[in-house]
Amino acid sequence: MSLIRGRFHKAADKLAAEYTASSSVDWRLYPYDIKGSIAHVRMLAKQKIISEKEAEMITEGLASIREEMEQGKFQFRVEQEDIHMSIEARLIEKIGEVGRKLHTARSRNDQVALDLRLFTKEAISETITRLRKLQQALVNLAERNKDVTLPGYTHLQPAQPVLLAHHLLAYFEMLSRDAGRFSDCRRRADVMPLGSGAVAGVAYNIDRDFLASELGFSRLSQNSIDAVSDRDFVVEYEAAASLCMMHLSRLAEEVILWSSAEFGFIELDDAYATSSSIMPQKKNPDVVELARGKTGRVYGRLMAMLAMMKALPLSYDRDLQEDKEGLFDTVDTLLSTLEVITGVIKTVKLNTENMERAAGRDYILATDLADYLVSRGEAFRSAHNIVARLVSYAIDRGKSFRELSLDEYQGFSPRFGQDVYSITVASSVAARDVIGGTAPSQVARALSRAKKLLGEVEGEGWS
Ligand code: ARG
């Protein structure tokens, strides 16, 4: 029988009980629930709300329930609604009447808010750790291939040559912003709600500061009504996860493109590729395709959460129980995606010759020719126009820039001289010597900044 149906004359309808039960989802909160309960009873004893002896019995009971959970011996019962009631019911079964004192000065509303905050804080730490590992893998790949150039693309058309390291560090920047967002989110998750009770606060002489320090929170919630109904931290995690997945989907997309026969820039390690059931020659990038695909479900979880919370009257409403499935799924999806993409990056084989070849193709140095004319006194817009006509001329004759004679160049502008032939991919890259540009010296600076950031414990420099 449920612990809390005292006022009713019959048990809940079976379907209604199953419909409202959440233990199949919220069982994952058990370590946080038990941790929170142990801190709570310690506080109750310290404040003489229950005796030391009672607190000890409850603490031991809770610890042994944790063991049952860890060994998979715990029986969930649907009539107990959720993990919180299941643990309490089991406690009473194990230690008897004294177990009924655990819920003194507490409501499931502040209890569930606490558990979810503890879960989210831990999830954030793990997320940041995995973001750093992926960043490290990108930095290592960049370091090992410092001198490789490839086309920088705009509109997926070759635009200007860039260093591969520069391209890889673009992802480093995105992931730094992600880590920054997760640590912002942690600040707002790091608020201790116990003491809020059901809605109005509790009518006992409790010590909230003690609870916060036992449970590792830096602040106390300041309004009980808000504290039991606030799930901003869930929305924020899911929003930060959505942005992060968007970044990962862009990386995944480039891995897919680059491993195609048409690009031929990279080859996936066999461990991260799949084969076709019909075409024996295929090496498919399913792993990264799924990373790209799972982005959609993470966005969906964010939208579901925002829609669920829209216009909810204060304070706690049972709708809020729907917060967990999406959060857990978001955390699982993001963590596994980060891990698998890190594996892909660590093991990917580069076909640097193909990259270099592509970097030297397709009039990719056209901007440099325009810049050359500017350095000889031409206005940029006119220089752009001259080079555009030159490109069209060269395309018509099937010639590259190198294959044009100086006469042909000078037919477009008398400013062209012999030194136009010294414009190369390397000179083009070296010329972009601005902070944030692709010149080797700038990229070397960016790499050492990245390594320094990864070396810092808390990543203070993360945006
Ligand atoms: N299972 C509920 C949840 O996850 C716990 C809180 C229930 N509170 C209540 N008053 N029914 O949100």
Q: Do residue 335 and residue 380 come from a single domain?
A: no
Atom of ligand 1 nearest to the CA of 320: 12
The rounded Å distance from CA 319 to ligand 1 centre is 9
For residues 248 and 342, membership in a common domain is answered with yes
Atom of ligand 1 nearest to the CA of 316: 10
Report the residue among 321, 325, 327 best suited for mutation to probe ligand 1: largest number of ligand atoms under 8 A from its CB: 321
343 and 415 in one domain? no
Which ligand 1 atom sits nearest the alpha carbon of residue 82?
Answer: 1
Per-position pLDDT tens, the chain of length 463 = 678 788 888 888 889 989 999 999 999 999 999 999 999 999 999 999 999 999 999 999 999 999 999 999 998 777 788 999 999 999 999 999 999 999 999 999 999 999 999 999 999 999 999 999 999 999 999 999 999 999 999 999 999 999 999 999 999 999 999 999 999 999 999 999 999 999 999 999 999 999 999 999 999 999 999 999 999 999 999 999 999 999 999 999 999 999 999 999 999 999 998 887 778 788 899 999 999 999 999 999 999 999 999 999 999 999 999 999 999 999 999 999 999 999 999 999 999 999 999 998 879 999 999 999 999 999 999 999 999 999 999 999 999 999 999 999 999 999 999 999 999 999 999 999 999 999 999 999 999 999 999 998 665 556 5
The closest residue, in CA terms, to atom 12 on ligand 1 is: 321
Residue 2 is assigned to a structural domain of this protein: no
The C-alpha torsion from 62 through 64 and 69 to 75, rounded to 10°, is: -90
Residues contacting 315, CB < 8 A, separation 6+: 109, 199, 224, 225, 226, 228, 229
Residue nearest to atom 4 of ligand 1 (CA): 321
d(CA 240, CA 139): 22
Q: Are residues 260 and 349 in the same domain?
A: yes
The CATH number linked to 118 is: 1.20.200.10
Q: Name which residue sits closest to atom 3 of ligand 1, judged by CA.
A: 321
Return the residue matching tokens 């730490």.
Answer: 125
**Most informative mutation of 28, 106, 107, 112 for ligand 1 (most atoms within 8 A of CB):** 112
Contacts 24+ apart (CB under 8 A), 266-275: 266/348, 266/349, 266/350, 266/351, 267/348, 267/349, 267/351, 268/344, 268/347, 268/348, 268/349, 269/344, 269/347, 269/348, 269/349, 271/343, 271/347, 272/340, 272/343, 272/344, 272/347, 272/348
Whether residues 75 and 114 fall in one domain: no
Choose the final residue of a domain: 297, 325, 358.
Answer: 358
* Active-site amino acid positions: 155, 276
The answer on 21 and 120 residing in a single domain is no
Angle at 458 between CA 453 and CA 460, to 5 degrees: 60
Q: How far is the CA of 109 from the centre of ligand 1 (A)?
A: 6
Cβ atoms of 23 and 198 within 8 Å: the answer is no
Among 358, 375, 409, the domain-final residue is: 358
Q: Which residue spans within 396-445 are E strands per DSSP?
A: none
Q: Do residues 70 and 162 share a domain?
A: no
In a domain? residue 162: yes
- Same domain? For 89 and 39 the reply is yes
Q: What is the DSSP string of 247-289?
A: HHHHHHHHHHHHTSTTT--EE--GGG-B--SS-TT--B-HHHH
Domain shared by 253 and 131, yes or no: yes
Does a structural domain hold residue 216? no
Q: Are residues 314 and 409 in the same domain?
A: no
Cα 321 to ligand 1 centroid, rounded to whole Å: 6
Would you report the helix, strand and coil content of the chain in percent, each value rounded to 5? 65, 5, 30
Q: Are 443 and 163 in contact (CB under 8 A)?
A: yes
Provide the whole-model pTM: 0.94
Read off the CATH number of the domain in which 386 is found: 1.10.40.30
The answer to whether position 215 is within a domain reads no
* Domain hosting residue 19, numbered range: 14-104
Residues 238 and 169 in one domain: yes
> Which of 82, 103, 231 has most ligand 1 atoms within 8 Å of CB, for mutation?
82
Instruction: Identify the domain boundary among 358, 384, 401.
Output: 358
- Do 229 and 302 fall into the same domain? yes
What is the number of domains present in the chain?
A: 3
Q: Find the residues whose C-beta lies inside 6 A of ligand 1.
A: 22, 26, 81-82, 108-109, 112, 316, 318, 320-321
Q: Does residue 219 belong to any structural domain of this protein? A: no
Looking at the domain assignment, is residue 214 inside a domain? no
Nearest ligand 1 atom, CA 83: 1
Find the CATH number of the domain harbouring 42. Answer: 1.10.275.10
Q: Is position 1 within any domain?
A: no
Ligand 1 centroid – CA 422 distance (Å): 72
